[in-house]
Structure 1
Amino acid sequence: MSFAIVAKLLAILAAVGLGWAAGRSKLLGEGDPARVLANAAFYLFVPALLVRTTARLDTHALPWSLLAAFFVPVLGLILLVYLWQRPRRTSAAEPSVKAITAGFGNTLQVGIPLAAGVFGETGLAIHITVVSLHALVLLILLTLLVELDLAREQPSRSLAATLAQTARNTVIHPVVLPVVVGLSWNATGWPLPAVLDEALQTLGTAVVPLCLTLIGLSLAQYGWPSAWRGMLGLVLVKLLVQPALVLVCAHWGFGLTGLPLAVIVMMGALPIGSNALIFAQRYRSLEAETTAATVLSTVAYVATAPLWLALLARYFPWSGGA
């Protein structure tokens, strides 16, 4: 792994550390600053990013076979984790929180420097193409699952009422509704007005630093959970099982080789993204455990990423790169 990528990981951990220090010193005041920041991210900054991304997305230029090679195994893994956890849940949201922890990668803060540093401009272009749909696809699926579980918890509800509430809560949601708005604007073919585009971009740029700070704040507020070993399995699933599934599905299922294969396998190998914590905060489930899993996976990635790069270089070599 190049020094630039290691430096990026250290910078991420430093930002998390600053958030932890702010939480421990009560710099942001008493009360629950982590939840305030999570709500700001979930209801303001992330929606702005999603609206702008979907409104500007060139759907005609997307390589659908490559996207399927990545999303089919990733979504399949998320569903398997969700189904495995449902009989063992202690709350309605717990299976979905564990599923997003096992499946949602840090495609921005870690993924972009990795793609640029290892695969060069061509690989970075492939990576960004997948990133353009990553949060949209995964968050919509997980929102549907968790809202369905929450609706089922309501006593004396018919199946029709349960499905109606699930559909309403899924669409009128701070993740899904911005996607609907953005895609609707996209369908008109009109460009975003310059002022609106600038405002959305400004709000969207706050997502990354806010989310990294939130991880540290949550770690300070909730502490390291005593039952963190239960999340260790999800960390291993994210760092080892997901990239293995992407490799098998993409290469032997979709026939990918070379650079496209290497890029999406390394996307699967990324550590847990901060959106998992925002999701846990939103549904008030496993906040401490998700925080610990995010930090642990980022640290462990320093060891697992070189292993995957070595395997790909040995058995599935690519040309080009930095």
Structure 2
Amino acid sequence: MSQQIRTAAFIGLGVMGYPMAGHLARAGIEVRVYNRTAAMAEAWVAEYGGSHHPTPGEATQGADLVLVCVGNDDDVREVVTGPEGVMSGISETAVLIDHTTASADLARELALACRAHGCEFIDAPVSGGQQGATNGTLTIMCGGEEAAFQRMQPVLAHYGRAVTLMGETGAGQMTKMVNQICIAGVVQGLAEGLHFAERAGLDRERVVEVISQGAAGSWQMANRHRTMIAGEYEHGFAVNWMRKDLDICLKEARKLSARLPVTALVDQFYGDVQAMGGGRWDTSSLLKRLEQDD
């Protein structure tokens, strides 16, 4: 039950981790935080209380639960198994949850490290973006042991609208790969549709109003079409991070002999956006690529 978790350590206070950790503090959990940029940790403590610490290991000491939300596989390894990482301070009775979108191989690696230490591990990547983290409406895809998941699910529900155990270790990361594969094709289709509508002289807002009521409707259409039409991309999930995620998907696909032709193509298109200087633009900037010669 969630009330059994009295103290949590949160490692990584980026655009996702900052509000996620905040939801735990609001729920009455004592939160100990670490962030590579100390000023961000200081700001978080000023807003939510709790305490900030100079290393992940120190933040982890005394915590019933340790949550990690950083950038990529190497970042996770640094904060978890590095010299002053989580494993240097975690209790044998604690649970380590990794919210980073990372490889399934890393999840299995961390599970083995936790097992050797005596603690438990859950890979739990999230979907829903900064808005979902702020509003506490994330989708959380988990991999790990049933008992550990059941114990942690009420805690994750503080910022997750849907918290689901997908299978054994790595299944959460595999499910997140499916999520990113599906998004890539949908965003490209929306970009092409809006580009075509503009060239055809149609009122794009009106087009979306009509087609969103039918089979073409999607989260991307509902939440991104206006900013795409306005050419506004300084928000949302960055192209650089999407390419990192798609690289994970494509590497895993090669291991599985799975064919992802659309995903591979859209990954190349995002490479074009990066070449345009749009690495930090929202993923919906695929439309900008189509319009660059207009």
Q: TM-score, normalised by structure 2?
A: 0.25
The structure that is helix-richer by fraction is 1
Q: TM-score, normalised by structure 1?
A: 0.24
